[in-house]
Amino acid sequence: MNLTAKIALAIVLIFAAALGMTTMLNYMRLEQTLRTVLIQRIEVISNETRQDLSAAIDIGLRLENMENLNEILMRRLGMSDEISEISVRDCSGNLISSERSNAGHPISGEPVRTGDVVFTKSLALYDVSLQDSLGQCAGNLRLAADLSDINTRLDRVSSEMVRAAGIGMIAVFPILLLLLWLMNRRHRVFVSLNDDVKRAMAGQDAVANFQDKDLLTESEMEMVAMYRDIRANLRDEAAPGNPSTPSNETPR
């Protein structure tokens, strides 16, 4: 593999790696943004629900004795389409009341870490501990958010990003070809110089005008002109009958 091919391969690999990393970072940023928005909605709804429940707990009511508990949960459930279930449990984990959206499915009562939104493959779970005025456990509030809409968006955006990356590679390919063509024209000059040095060492004549059709900078043109002068001087010195040509005869 010659130098031009190696440079071409390196440029293509670097550009593909940069494009792939940019696509991946944009996807991760979008996923983080969607999750952050969902977490904020869950926290707002949980705070509103906890305030309603805490107001009843503070006046001495038990959660299982609240007559309007289902209405409170249903009202909070309608605040966001992503929330699929809101449930209230006692301190032992027994279900007191639960409201689900039309697309919601029963959620396991297995506890998660209180105060953190835990993401599974299809759900985001959030548990809030309820306490009475003495700081004792009064129950537990759980919110579950359906991630099907977010996953659908991410899949669609992922397909669009991959297609955009492919279009970007195709769009920049002509530019890369032009760059490689220019590099190859310049590289041919130095290859020709190297070949001509070998011809000079073999005593052969120089190839005339080997760089006339290539694009050169001013410094490269000066270098080629200097090489031609040196090459011409070497040819003149090596010409037969030149006084400066050393004799092969040895003195007796």
pLDDT tens digits, one per residue of 69-102: 888 888 888 888 888 888 898 888 888 888 786 5
How would you list the strands of the sheet with 117-119, edge to edge? 95-100, 83-89, 137-146, 123-131, 117-119
Neighbours of 77 (CB within 10 A): 20
pLDDT, residue 106, reads: 54
Q: Please report, rounded to a whole number, the percentage of residues in the chain having pLDDT higher than 90.
A: 10
pTM of the model: 0.66
What CA–CA distance (Å, rounded) separates 34 from 119? Answer: 13
Please report, as a single letter, which amino acid is at residue 122.
S
153 against 200, higher pLDDT = 153
pLDDT, residue 213, reads: 52
Task: Inform me whether the pLDDT recorded for 202 exceeds 80.
Answer: no
Q: What is the DSSP code (8-state) at residue 175?
A: H
Supply the mean pLDDT for the chain: 77
With CA atoms as reference, report the closest residue to 83 among 108, 102, 109, 111: 102
Provide the CATH number for the domain formed by 3-146 in this structure: 3.30.450.20
What CA–CA distance (Å, rounded) separates 165 from 20? Answer: 7
6 against 218, higher pLDDT = 6
Neighbours of 182 (CB within 10 A): 12
Please say whether the beta carbons of 86 and 142 come within 8 A.
yes
- List C-alpha distances in Å: 237 to 108, 180, 198, 233: 97, 40, 18, 6
With CA atoms as reference, report the closest residue to 57 among 143, 142, 130: 130
Residue ranges of domains in the chain: 3-146, 170-237
pLDDT, residue 233, reads: 67
Q: Which of 6-15, 50-59, 104-113 has the lowest mean pLDDT?
A: 104-113
Half-sphere exposure of 103 (CA within 13 A, CB side): 14
| Average pLDDT for 213-218 | 57
pLDDT tens digits, one per residue of 23-77: 999 999 999 999 999 999 999 999 999 888 888 888 888 888 888 888 888 888 8
pLDDT, residue 25, reads: 92
Nearest 5°: the CA angle 171, 174, 177 is 140
115 against 144, higher pLDDT = 144
Half-sphere exposure of 219 (CA within 13 A, CB side): 0
Please say whether the beta carbons of 88 and 139 come within 8 A.
yes
pLDDT, residue 112, reads: 56
